[in-house]
Structure 1
Amino acid sequence: MGLISSFFTWWNGATWGTWIYTQLRGAKVGEDGWGNVYFEAKKRDSYGVRRRWVIYSGSNDASRVPPEWHSWLHGQAEDVPDRALPPARPWQKPPIPNLTGTHQAYRPPGALEAGGIRPASTGDYEAWSPDQA
């Protein structure tokens, strides 16, 4: 089912139609550390803007686009990040994708997935009851 599903399912990566469009009308401008490939249209549209897009290396998840490439995709930067931005500072952490729904997602204290034990109350909270006026 892998070959047939690649014709129709866009959430598992680029479809065949996207690849054909990219080969005919796009030019590769760069690649990020996660393997996502970025393209720009060879011709300008009627507004004088070149369309920009990304083909993800895995599932299509916009949180997997690093901030510097996000700004390029949305036209906030004219040149690709490799040439337009200064090198990363030593204190900067690499971006991480949205981990919601995975085992690595944040679990606050008291969450059922984290053991379900909440910290003791400090006594400054009084629960509301409908019998109280």
Structure 2
Amino acid sequence: MGINLNPFTWWTGASWGTAFGLRGKARVGEDSLGNVYYEGGADTAGNPRRWVIYNGINDASRVPPEWFGWLHHQVADVPSRALPAPRAWQIPAEPNLTGTIAAYRPSGALEKGGVRAAATGDYEAWTPDA
């Protein structure tokens, strides 16, 4: 397709309507995946409204944990100021890989040949008469 679908579709990124709706809202940060976060206005409870504009496909699993906490008002300030620096042993969060080539497939999966490992012999099937 040679047509830019961004003006009309929400699943390929922010549409023009979203960009228009974010006028006057404050850009508060960007995460390691390139998602951009905004804040402005208030909801019916008086809490500030918060948005994420995804860099690529709209998938909630692509929001890192620290920004998830900010979006859901678990952290009052942006993560870079409110949270401690990540520890050396922490690994970066990964999005949900289901449906991709990198998804987990156990040894008996059809994509891996569909052959399970033989039973070890310690399994005894349940029977109602036993």
* Aligned counterpart, 2:39: 40
Identical residues among aligned pairs (%): 61
Letter in 1 for 2:32: G
Letter in 2 for 1:26: K
Letter in 2 for 1:84: A
Letter in 1 for 2:54: Y
* Aligned counterpart, 1:2: 3
* Aligned counterpart, 1:95: 93
Letter in 2 for 1:64: R
Unaligned residue ranges in structure 2 (runs of 5+): none
The alpha-carbon deviation at position 125 of structure 1 amounts to 3.4
Q: 2 CA distance for matches of 1:36 and 1:107?
A: 29
Instruction: Answer with 116-125 or 97-106: which moved more.
Output: 116-125
TM-score by length of 1: 0.87
Q: 2 CA distance for matches of 1:62 and 1:30?
A: 17
Instruction: Answer with 109-118 or 61-70: which moved more.
Output: 109-118
Q: 2 CA distance for matches of 1:106 and 1:14?
A: 30
TM-score by length of 2: 0.89
Letter in 2 for 1:10: W
- Residue 84 (1) aligns with residue 82 (2): yes
Offset from partner CA, 1:30-87 (integer Å, 9 cap, x none): 000010000001x334422110010001000000000000000001000000000100
Q: 1 CA distance for matches of 2:76 and 2:67?
A: 11
Q: 2 CA distance for matches of 1:81 and 1:51?
A: 16
Q: 2 CA distance for matches of 1:121 and 1:46?
A: 58
SS in 2 for 1:83: helix
The alpha-carbon deviation at position 11 of structure 1 amounts to 0.4
Aligned residue-pair number = 128
Unaligned residue ranges in structure 1 (runs of 5+): none
RMSD: 1.9
- Residue 63 (1) aligns with residue 61 (2): yes
Higher helix share: 1
Check 1:46–1:113 CA distance in 2 against 1; reply closer, same or farther (3 A cut).
Answer: closer
